[in-house]
Structure 1
Amino acid sequence: MLFKKLVTAFALTCAVAFGATAALAADPENTMIITLKDGDVVVGLRPDLAPKHVAQIKELVREGAYNGVAFHRVIDGFMAQTGDVQFGNMDKNFSASDVGTGGSDKPNIPAEFSQTPFKRGTVGMARAQDPNSANSQFFIMFTPAPSLDGQYTVVGEVEKGIEHIDAIKKGDESANGTVSEPDRMVKVRIAADK
């Protein structure tokens, strides 16, 4: 009888834990799909943590602004950064000397820091020294980075396809991860937008 109760309790715990993840993935309005050369990366966006940042990301996605944008800074064992729609579009306006310094035509967003930790698969907003300077650039973590906790805005988490993030071309460590001939986001869409 005790064994049966323990099995039932374990099953309920698993159902609750996996149900929360499934619920997040099941929200197509807050699911971003990034197509890379090797396949799709599914990101569950977190408007509960960063509503202004997520709203701006979704606007940019729906405008097609992220399509063709380079992963311009990729540091092995740390993170892959992309999203410079001003200078990073490899099909239109790519500038190797300026990529990473631009944003979009939208205003910068005030910080929405949280206690959510930066771990493998976390998606965070890139910014300059000013905490309120995030705009369009974001990064995806290869590994945990507790030093970023509470210092950068968490906007989502990779739910599927992290192996495709791992396969992104890495940058030059001596040049702070700058990538020559970088990989790009081929296409980015919100799952609700068939």
Structure 2
Amino acid sequence: MRRLLTAAAAAIFLLGSGAPRAEAEPDPENVLVMELAHGTVEIEMLPELAPQHVERIRTLTRDGFYDGIVFHRVIDGFMAQTGDPTGTGMGGSDLPDLEAEFSRRHFQRGILGMARAQDPDSANSQFFIMLASAPNLNGQYTAWGQVLSGMEAVDAIKKGDRANNGMVDEPDRIERMRVLADID
């Protein structure tokens, strides 16, 4: 099943991106499988951009940290944010915060970035998935992944009220998240 998912993800990405890829198939150690109520999302982690952040996401995923975590802040036409165990946007894991790993990667639809406080070196466990391009984030946040398939499931996540900074009442959640290499 793992090979089938990886091959399908690579094919969908290659067909949908319009851009050539150096690798035909992503490394299963660097692919996340996120199960949502609306479908499955496959995410390629990009350690060449943000090795510390990718390792943090991989570690927390393997620990089951993200299972059941809500998308507490979702702004239509912008992004969907998750990764806070308190659901308030103020929490994180028990691990120390990470230093920023800014890159030239543009924050466009399907890119994943680390959420943080005002301090650029305050990312911990929260991350967001871009619903649209946001050039104002370029070079200001750490980009660490990109959606390979399942963006329609991300688009279906319940949106919050823009007037309330996207905070969501009765939010959708990550049902389960795994590293593809760990799936039999």
Q: Same fold (TM over 0.5)?
A: yes
- What is the DSSP-based 3-state SS (H/G/I as helix, E as strand, rest coil) of the residue aligned with 2:62? helix
2:89 is matched with 100
Q: Who is 1:188 aligned against?
A: 177
The reply to whether residue 71 of structure 1 matches residue 71 of structure 2 is yes
Kindly state the Cα deviation for residue 19 of structure 1 after the two structures are TM-superposed.
4.2
Partner of 2:33: 33
Q: Does 1:153 align with 2:139?
A: no
Counterpart mapping for 1:170-189 below 5 A: 170-189=159-178
Of the three residues 105, 108, 115, the one matched with 1:126 is 115
2:7 is matched with none
Which residue number in structure 1 is paired with residue 24 of structure 2? 22
Q: Which residue of 2 aligns with 1:43?
A: 43
> What RMSD, in angstroms, separates the aligned Cα atoms of the two structures?
1.2
Give unpaired runs (5+ residues) of structure 2: 1-14
SS of aligned partner of 2:182: coil
Residues 12-31 of structure 1 show CA distances to partners (whole Å, capped at 9, x for unaligned) of xx9xx5443633xx310000
Q: For 2:37, give the aligned amino acid.
A: K
Question: Once the 2 structures are TM-superposed, how far is the Cα of residue 114 of structure 1 from its aligned partner?
Answer: 0.3
Match of 1:163 among 141, 152, 173: 152
Alignment match, 2:9 = none
Measured after TM superposition, the shift of residue 38 of structure 1 is: 1.2
Q: TM-score, normalised by structure 2?
A: 0.87
Aligned partner of 1:52 in structure 2 is 52
Structure 1's 36 and 133: CA in aligned 2 closer, same or farther, altered over 3 A?
Answer: same
How many equivalent residue pairs?
Answer: 166
Tell whether 2:144 aligns with 1:142: no
- Separation (CA, whole Å) in 2 of partners of 1:104 and 1:19: 34
Q: Stretches of 4+ moved more than 6 A in 1?
A: none
For residue 55 of structure 2, what is the amino acid of its counterpart?
A: A
User: SS in structure 1 opposite 2:66?
Assistant: coil
Counterpart Cα distance in 2 of 1:56 and 1:134: 10
The aligned counterpart of 1:94 is none
Q: Which has the larger radius of gyration?
A: 1
Deviation of residue 71 (structure 1)?
Answer: 0.2
1:67-116 Cα distance to aligned partner (Å, 9 max, x none) = 0000000000000000013x13xxxxxxxxxx100010000000000011
Residue in 1 aligned with 2:5?
none
* C-alpha distance in 2 between matches for 1:38 and 1:47: 28
Aligned partners of 2:48, 2:32: CA distance in 1, in Å?
A: 15
Matches of 2:56 and 2:42, distance apart in 1:
18
- Unmatched segments (≥5 aa) in structure 1: 1-13, 89-98
